[in-house]
Amino acid sequence: MSHPDGPRAALRTLLDGNRRFLSDEARGPNRGLDRIAALAGGQKPWAAILGCADSRVPLEILFDAGFGDIFVVRVAGNVASAEQIGSLEYAVVVLGTPLVMVLGHTGCGAVQAALADDPTPGRIPTLLHHIGAALEPGERDIDAAVAANVRHQLRTLRNDSHAMRTGIEAGTVGLVGAVVDTATGELTVLEASPGVRD
Ligand SMILES: [Zn+2]
């Protein structure tokens, strides 16, 4: 796999990887010991993805990628709270990663729990608070809520991260929101910052 240069090429590479996965043509690139050895001195991932912790959305498999390709941040409900924003900023500012994707998925349990708004134990309310803020009052539709949550986390990233905002304005960073269907592995892009999509 060649190293994509810039936000557009990075998004195209992600979409190509997902297409290979869907058509049973996954190559499992960059997964050997030689690749690990080549990366020992440093990493230069070409995409950073904020995904859900759900076991049904393993990102290297869905995008047919390997070691050193994608910088993965996973947390239930793919919420952009402070630690996640800091992690993505590390990718963008320190590692020079040109593309940031927020990836929701169908049937997300965290979004479902935020919709239900029932009492939850431990620290779960803290997590759900970040999703609840995304939802329209009275929303009942899980697919609409998943999409609204992705859009809300994108807004949070743009609003709370100076580095992200200036990167997008300069065209050096692309920001993309997408949803993956957990029944099929298929990806739908919801929105992208200007110039990122073909
Ligand atoms: Zn989820």
Q: Write the pLDDT tens digit of every residue in 78-109.
A: 999 999 999 999 999 999 999 999 999 999 99
**Beta bridge partners of residue 117, listed in sequence order:** none
Q: What is the pTM of this model?
A: 0.96
* pLDDT value of position 1: 53
CA of 127 to the centre of ligand 1 (A): 12
Topology of 6-192 in CATH? Beta-carbonic Anhydrase; Chain A (3.40.1050)
- Catalytic residue, chosen from 8, 64, 69, 105, is 105
Q: Where are the alpha helices (DSSP H) in the chain?
A: 6-22, 33-39, 59-62, 82-89, 109-116, 124-132, 142-160, 162-170
108 catalytically annotated = yes
CA of 101 to the centre of ligand 1 (A): 15
- Catalytic residue, chosen from 8, 69, 108, 152, is 108
Other beta carbons within 10 Å of 126: 11
